[in-house]
Amino acid sequence: MDASTILSRLQFAFTISYHYLFPQLTMGLALLLVILKTLYLLRRDERYNTSARFWAKIFAIGFIVGVVTGIPMEFQFGTNWARFSTNAGEIIAQTLAMEGAFAFFLESTFLGIFLFGEQVFGQKMHLFSACMLWIGTWLSGGFIVATNAWMQHPVGYIIAPNGRFHISNFWAVLFNPWILAQYMHTMSGAVLTGSFFMTGLGAYYLLSKVHLDYGRIFVTLGVIVGLIASVIQLYPSGDLEGRQVADYQPSKLAAMEGLFSTEQGAGIVIIGQPDTANNRLDNPIIVPKVLSFLTYQRWNATVKGINAFPPDQRPDSIDLLYYSYHIMVGLGTFFIAITGLAFLLLWRKLLFQTRWMLWVLMLATPFPFIANTAGWFTTELGRQPWVVFGLMHTAQGSSTTLSSGNVLFTLIGFAGMYLLLGLLYVVLVVFEALRGPKTEEETTQETEEIAPQGA
Amino acid sequence: MPTLWFILVAFMLSMYVLLDGFDLGAGIIHLFVAKNNDERRMILQAIGPVWDGNEVWLIVAGGTLFFTFPLLYASSFSGFYLPLIIVLWLLMLRGVAIELRSLIPSPVWSAFWDGLFFLGSALLAIFYGAALANVLRGVPLDQSGYFFEPLWTDWNPYSLTPGILDWYTVLIGLLSLTTLAMHGANYIAVKTENEVNARARRIARLAWVATIVLSVPSTIATFSVQPHIAASFISRPWGFIFPIIALIGLVGMGYNTIRQHDMGAFLSSGAFILGMLTSSAYGLYPLVLPAVHPANSLTIDNASASQYGLAVGLAWWIVAMILAAIYFILTYRLFRGKVRPAEAGGHY
């Protein structure tokens, strides 16, 4: 792989990992906004509406960063991966274009109505626009997962003599069997991020004894939704994904589990550091036979190791892939444990007084971001060395006319730009979080106080 | 089928320029039209509910181009690598500037974003013009259908190794700047009253004069740089309808300005943009990306996707466009009328 291709991979990995920090939050918050608006209309308690208005602001800041960092993703297929785009564009760009046409128009329309239209169009329209916004964000996620699914598990295509993939069955591509488990896993991961974010801020309010009413609403809603999402992550979505990988991508499975040689009754690695030069795991803690059972439901089933694959079909970053997977699984377990415990305390009406638990919930806020990122690292590194699994090598997909100097230039530019965006995002969210939820009268009062200076 | 998609992609790109064009234009002129914080917020309120949706046209047009003409997408995006990535950065800064300027009530904070909103909008207008000019002039495609253009080489559009910027592409970039400034000023005039409205009208007039002055050399240069365009119009003369639309737009703009009819002026500048873009597309057809060595040019036939891919794409595309039209009408109806001076608690 030449320097230009490696830098293009780095740039794509960096820009997509960074981008996805925002959609995972907004897809999660979109659902929570619908719940808050519905609770308001059912119970007519003004605090739910004030909460919804507050989270809409946090949502909007994340949404805008998600939009502006999302545009480079579509562009980069053409700029840095010209040969892949030429060969596969007819298929993967169907779903990419559908995302724009079906989801983005919907989102942009109803985001406008949701943010600007509460007073003008009334509560029912406001709830309706929240629902449409939620559908839009989740539809968008669906088309992206569908696009990725074709790269993981190509279906509905024919290969022309010149190497180009032509679409031969549109419905097969759109309803690729790969999508179901991946979509469930991705969406409940996003809900996890949104609910931990809400819980974390609520816990902060309770711990610092400000906005107590809202702190309780945020923690209650966040913990309940977070528990449901954590469980779905493990079962059925995680379980389905694992079997799917075992069936179709055994090289990914072997590398993510750190299994170097094929074993009958393979054990599952809890801890250990891969040593790829010597094909072994250092300092391992292994539970015997569990990997075989989880994969094939038989304790003595044979699981293929990395060495069973020819070198040009093995993932090329086994170490990172192994760690990504283990970080994701470790954090997933941790999420079930803390949301489960917090739910018990909530049920016994003890949670709001249990300060150590509130501390844990507050400090857990960033971890779903890490788990989601690690999960996508697992999926994508495990797809290597292929850009289209089993059909086209990543090294054959890059743009031939790009010099490494030009790619490095833009990579540095993206790094600088995204550092600025990240700082802005943190400043603004902290600013909003410290201001806290405000009813309409409070907002009007505040604006009047600062008006002389602001004008 | 490829011809149909050529028209549809040209339609989507035109929609993008028409719609995002007026909010880009608003960014170009806002420093001169809006003099204080309340007026600046009014400008943002005027474009606030729609700019994001306008930009979606770029993404959808890009995605559609990608699956209908994969080789064209791959070739042009990798060949125009640097200017495209710079466009992305400008789009980011500009989007962030619109959304963040009023979130922290500090005059320094908003002044910074106002400046960036202007700079991003103006540079984008110039880059879009230069991009179109590159496509019209032709690029150094090789036999495999790929190329790479540095930002500039010898500033000569007749060169065998052209750069993104030369005197011709910069000229078209400036024409694009004045055109979008005119379009944006017309939009702001439609959406505002009193002093802001009066200033917007004055700037629209200035930009109109500048656009006329630049149009003449731009048109002559285009025919000289790309002989294929003249050949297209001579062999299929019904296409003269497109430059006539542009001309009507330009004249109508002057007429409506004198009558002080803001909506008429806005529609006229829209017609001018549409006429110019369709003339360009018509002149290029059946080429989609002319090469310095004509044999290497990409055409609608050698760059397009398979028959089945194009047909199945058309089916869902029609459904999507009907939905998009509904959203479009909904948004512009809900947010019609003049914007009021910034109200307390407003988003911008």
- Chain centroid, CA A230 distance in Å: 14
- Chain centroid, CA A385 distance in Å: 22
Tokens standing for residue B46: 């005027």
* Non-local CB neighbours of A314 within 8 Å, separated by 6+ positions: A251, A255, A306, A385
Tell if the CB–CB gap between B48 and A112 is shorter than 8 Å: yes
Q: Measured between beta carbons, which residues in chain A are less than 8 angstroms from residue B334?
A: 113, 117, 120-121
Residue corresponding to tokens 């499975």: A253
> Which of helix, strand or coil describes residue A43?
helix
Measured distance between the N- and C-terminal CA atoms of chain B, rounded to whole angstroms: 45
Distances (CA, A) of A392 to A159, A385, B198: 11, 9, 60
| Alpha helices by DSSP H, A249-354 | 250-257, 290-296, 318-347
Q: Residue A363 phi/psi, 5° resolution? A: -70, -15
How many residues would you count in chain A? 455
ipTM beyond cut 0.90:
yes
Tell if the CB–CB gap between B60 and A100 is shorter than 8 Å: yes
Q: How wide is the angle at C-alpha B177 spanned by C-alphas B56 and B37, nearest 5°?
A: 75
The C-alpha atoms of residue B237 and residue B233 are separated, in whole angstroms, by 5
In this prediction, residues A285-299 reach a mean pLDDT of 90
pLDDT score of B342? 58
Searching chain B, which residue's CA lies closest to the CA of residue A121? B334
**Side chain identity, residue A114:** F
Residue ranges of E strands in A348-443: 386-388, 392-393
In this prediction, residues A177-201 reach a mean pLDDT of 97
The C-alpha atoms of residue A185 and residue A202 are separated, in whole angstroms, by 26
Residue A454 binned pLDDT confidence (cut-offs 50, 70, 90): very low
The C-alpha atoms of residue B28 and residue B310 are separated, in whole angstroms, by 38
Distances (CA, A) of A270 to A283, A287, A379: 10, 7, 19
Q: For chain B (length 348 residues), average pLDDT per consecutive 10?
A: 94 95 95 91 88 90 95 95 94 91 88 95 96 94 92 90 93 97 96 91 95 95 93 93 95 91 95 96 93 92 93 95 92 82 59
The C-alpha atoms of residue B322 and residue B314 are separated, in whole angstroms, by 12
* Non-local CB neighbours of B237 within 8 Å, separated by 6+ positions: none
The C-alpha atoms of residue B39 and residue B195 are separated, in whole angstroms, by 10
> Which of helix, strand or coil describes residue A164?
coil
Please, is A42 exposed, middle or buried when counting C-beta atoms within 10 Å of its C-beta (0-12, 13-18, 19+)? exposed
Strand duo B298-299 + A268-275: pairing = unpaired
> Which of helix, strand or coil describes residue A314?
coil
Has residue A445 got a pLDDT over 80? no
Residue A447 binned pLDDT confidence (cut-offs 50, 70, 90): low
> Which of helix, strand or coil describes residue B165?
strand
**Using CB atoms, which residue from B55, B70, B148 is nearest to A86?**
B70
Residue A441 binned pLDDT confidence (cut-offs 50, 70, 90): confident
Among A316-325, A440-449, B313-322, the minimum mean pLDDT is found in A440-449
What is the per-residue DSSP string for B106-159? -HHHHHHHHHHHHHHHHHHHHHHHHHHHHHHH-B---TTS-----SBSSS-TT-
Smallest Cα distance from B143 to chain A, Å: 13
What is the per-residue DSSP string for A65-82? HHHHHHHHHHHHHHHH-H
* Non-local CB neighbours of B22 within 8 Å, separated by 6+ positions: B47, B54, B180, B183, B184, B186, B187, B266
Smallest Cα distance from A65 to chain B, Å: 7
* C-beta of residue B212 within 8 angstroms of C-beta of residue B254: no
> Which of helix, strand or coil describes residue A289?
coil
Tell if the CB–CB gap between A105 and B58 is shorter than 8 Å: no
Smallest Cα distance from B263 to chain A, Å: 23
DSSP H or E stretch at residue A302: strand A302-303
Searching chain B, which residue's CA lies closest to the CA of residue A160? B306
pLDDT score of A451? 43
- Sign of the alpha-carbon dihedral angle for A260, A264, A270, A272: negative
Searching chain B, which residue's CA lies closest to the CA of residue A115? B347
pLDDT score of B331? 85
pLDDT score of B343? 56
Distances (CA, A) of B236 to A113, A237, B283, B286: 46, 59, 10, 12
Q: What domains can be seen in chain B, in order of their start residue?
A: 2-334 (1.20.1630.10)
Has residue A452 got a pLDDT over 50? no
pLDDT score of A344? 97
Instruction: Calculate the average pLDDT of chain A.
Output: 93
- pLDDT tens digits along A27-67: 999 999 999 999 999 999 999 999 999 999 999 999 999 99
Neighbours of B241 (CB within 10 A): 12
Q: Residue A281 phi/psi, 5° resolution? A: -110, 125
Q: How wide is the angle at C-alpha B73 spanned by C-alphas B69 and B75, nearest 5°?
A: 115
Residue A190 binned pLDDT confidence (cut-offs 50, 70, 90): very high
Has residue A130 got a pLDDT over 70? yes
The C-alpha atoms of residue A76 and residue B81 are separated, in whole angstroms, by 9
User: Model's pTM, two decimal places?
Assistant: 0.93
* C-beta of residue A100 within 8 angstroms of C-beta of residue A119: no
A&B contacts, CB < 8 Å:
237
The C-alpha atoms of residue B298 and residue B65 are separated, in whole angstroms, by 14
Tell if the CB–CB gap between B309 and A115 is shorter than 8 Å: no
DSSP A269: E
C-alpha closest to that of A174 among A101, A98, A249: A98
Q: Measured between beta carbons, which residues in chain B are less than 8 angstroms from residue A99?
A: 63
Q: Residue B6 phi/psi, 5° resolution? A: -60, -45
Residue corresponding to tokens 């610092």: A208
Tokens standing for residue B243: 């430059």
Q: Residue A387 phi/psi, 5° resolution? A: -95, -35
pLDDT score of A453? 38
Tell if the CB–CB gap between A116 and B347 is shorter than 8 Å: yes
C-alpha closest to that of A80 among A418, A413, A421, A394: A394
